[in-house]
C-alpha cells in the first residue's frame, strides 16, 4: 500500500463518515432547501461566532469569493508573496476581481503589522487603492507555520483603524487553533471573512466554507452562482463536512506529532540541508543538492512513498488521518536507507 504524503487532501472518507453522508436529508440548495447544507452553514457560523457561512466547492472558490467581496477592479490586496491566493489559484485575483496584489516577503509565510503598514498605498492617483489584507494560517509554503495570535491582533487593530478589511485563508486554520489554543470565536473575530477547508486534514472528500457577516454571505451566494458553484442536493457532501467538524478536529494533534517525529528523525541525514520548523502537519525539507530533487522523489516512489516537489529545492511531506504510526516508521526507515549522491 502506498504511503501518500503528497497532501492532506488525499484522505478518503471513513466508513463512519460515509454512513453519515448516506443518511443525509437533502433538497435543492439553490432554492435554499437543503437542510444538511443549511445545518453545516449554521454550525460553522456559530462555531466561529459569525453571522453566516456559505458552503463552497473548494478552498480556491471560498478564497476567491472572499477576496472579490472586498476588492474592486484596480484595487489591491496585501498578502505574503508565497500565499496560496496569489501563487496557486490560477491567477484568480486578476481574473475574478480585476485587482492587483502587493506581495510581502516574510517569516515562513507570515507577515507582520509593520510590513502591512508599509505596504498600504497612500492616496495617490498613480497607485492602486489598497482594499484588503489577507493572511494565511497555517502558512502552507512556510511549512505549516502558525501565526502568533498577538501578531494577528496587531494587524487586525491596525486594519480596523484605517478601515481595511481582513481575509483569512484558513484552509488549515483548525491546525493553527490546535497549536495556539485560541478559542475559535476569539480568533475568528479578528477577520471579516474566513475560508476554511473541510477537505484537508479534517478528512471530508470535498468542500470549503466561507464565513462572515450576513450581508457579505448574501452577496457571496450570488458570486458563487456566477462561478458555477450553486449546488443542488449538496447535503450528501455537506454531511461529510459536518461530520469532519464534529469528529476530526481533536485528532489533528496526532498528525502534528507524526510530522514532528518524521522531521526530527531525518533532520540529520547528510543529504538534507534544513527541515523547516515543524508546528503542524507539514514537513518541508531543503536539499543539500537541489539537482537531486527528482531522483529523490522517484526513489521514494519506487518504495511506495509519495511526496511532492516544493519549489525547485525542497520536498514536502504532509501527514493526515490516513497515515498510521507504522507508516511513519516505514517512511523514516526508507528515508534513512536512501543512498544519495
Ligand atoms: C489547499 C489550500 C487552499 C484551497 O485549495 P483547494 O484545493 O482549492 O481546496 C487554499 N489555501 C491554502 C493555504 C491551501 O493549502
Mutate to test the pocket of ligand 1, among 9, 57, 60 (most ligand atoms within 8 A of CB): 60
pLDDT at 106: 85
In angstroms and rounded to an integer, the radius of gyration of the C-alpha atoms of the chain is: 20
Distance 171 CA to ligand 1 centre (A): 6
> Residues near ligand 1 with C-beta < 6 Å?
58-60, 63, 84, 136, 140, 169, 171, 197, 199, 208
pLDDT in tens, 172-209: 999 999 999 999 999 999 999 999 999 999 999 999 99
DSSP 125-183: TTSPEEEEEEEESSBTTTTSB---HHHHHHHHHHHHHHT--EEEEETTHHHHHHHH---
Q: Which atom of ligand 1 is nearest to the CA of 208?
A: 9
Domain range summary for the chain, segments of one domain joined by +: 10-247, 251-337
- Residue 341 scores a pLDDT above 70: no
Architecture of domain 10-247: 3-Layer(aba) Sandwich (3.40)
Assessment of whether the complete model's pTM goes beyond 0.95:
yes
What residues pair up with 196 in beta bridges, in sequence order?
170, 209
What residues pair up with 194 in beta bridges, in sequence order?
168, 211
pLDDT in tens, 285-297: 999 999 999 999 9
Distance 6 CA to ligand 1 centre (A): 13
Distance 60 CA to ligand 1 centre (A): 6
Q: Count the neighbouring beta carbons within 10 Å of the beta carbon of residue 201.
A: 31
Distance 341 CA to ligand 1 centre (A): 34
Q: Are 240 and 20 in contact (CB under 8 A)?
A: yes
Mutate to test the pocket of ligand 1, among 56, 173, 197 (most ligand atoms within 8 A of CB): 197
Residue whose CA is at the smallest distance from ligand 1 atom 2: 171
Q: Which stretch of DSSP H or E encloses residue 61?
A: helix 59-70
Average of pLDDT values for 129-141? Answer: 98
| CA 80 – CA 72 distance, rounded (Å) | 20
Q: Count the neighbouring beta carbons within 10 Å of the beta carbon of residue 120.
A: 17
pLDDT in tens, 237-275: 999 999 999 999 999 999 999 999 999 999 999 999 999
- Of 189, 206, 203, nearest in space to 247 by CA: 203
Residue with cell 479578528: 190
What residues pair up with 121 in beta bridges, in sequence order?
none
Q: Which atom of ligand 1 is nearest to the CA of 138?
A: 13
Q: Which atom of ligand 1 is nearest to the CA of 140?
A: 13
Q: For the structural domain made of 251-337, what CATH number should be given?
A: 3.90.1150.10
Amino acid at each position: 500500500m502506498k504511503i501518500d504524503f503528497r497532501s492532506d487532501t488525499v484522505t478518503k472518507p471513513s466508513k463512519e463518515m460515509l454512513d453519515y453522508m448516506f443518511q443525509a436529508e437533502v433538497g435543492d440548495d439553490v432554492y435554499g432547501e437543503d437542510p444538511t447544507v443549511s445545518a453545516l452553514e449554521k454550525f460553522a457560523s456559530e462555531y466561529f461566532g459569525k453571522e453566516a457561512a456559505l458552503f463552497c466547492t473548494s478552498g480556491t472558490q471560498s478564497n476567491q469569493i472572499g477576496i472579490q467581496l472586498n476588492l474592486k477592479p484596480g484595487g489591491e490586496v496585501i498578502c505574503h508573496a508565497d500565499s496560496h491566493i496569489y501563487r496557486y489559484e490560477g491567477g484568480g485575483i486578476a481574473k475574478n476581481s480585476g485587482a492587483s496584489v502587493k506581495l510581502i516577503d516574510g517569516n515562513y509565510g507570515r507577515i507582520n503589522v509593520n510590513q502591512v503598514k508599509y505596504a498600504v498605498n497612500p492616496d495617490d492617483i498613480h497607485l492602486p487603492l489598497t482594499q484588503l489584507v489577507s493572511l494565511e494560517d497555517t502558512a502552507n509554503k512556510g511549512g505549516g507555520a502558525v501565526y502568533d495570535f498577538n501578531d494577528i491582533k496587531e494587524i487586525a487593530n491596525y486594519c480596523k483603524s484605517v478601515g481595511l478589511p481582513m481575509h483569512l485563508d484558513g484552509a488549515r486554520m483548525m491546525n493553527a487553533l490546535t497549536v495556539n489554543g485560541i478559542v475559535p470565536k476569539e480568533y475568528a473575530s479578528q477577520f471579516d471573512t474566513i475560508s476554511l477547508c473541510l477537505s484537508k486534514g479534517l478528512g471530508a472528500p470535498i468542500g470549503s466554507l466561507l464565513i462572515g457577516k450576513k450581508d457579505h454571505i448574501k452577496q457571496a451566494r450570488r458570486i458563487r452562482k456566477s462561478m458555477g458553484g450553486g449546488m443542488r442536493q449538496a447535503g450528501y457532501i455537506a454531511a461529510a463536512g459536518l461530520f469532519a467538524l464534529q469528529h476530526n478536529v481533536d485528532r489533528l494533534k496526532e498528525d502534528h506529532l507524526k510530522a514532528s517525529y518524521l522531521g526530527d528523525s531525518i533532520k540529520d541525514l547528510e543529504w538534507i540541508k534544513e527541515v523547516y520548523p515543524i508546528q503542524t502537519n507539514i514537513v518541508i525539507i531543503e536539499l543539500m543538492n537541489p539537482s537531486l530533487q527528482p531522483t529523490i522523489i522517484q526513489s521514494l516512489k519506487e518504495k511506495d512513498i509519495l511526496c511532492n516537489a516544493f519549489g525547485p529545492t525542497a520536498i514536502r511531506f504532509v501527514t493526515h488521518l490516513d497515515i498510521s504510526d507504522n507508516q511513519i516508521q516505514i517512511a523514516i526507515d526508507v528515508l534513512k536507507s536512501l543512498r544519495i549522491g
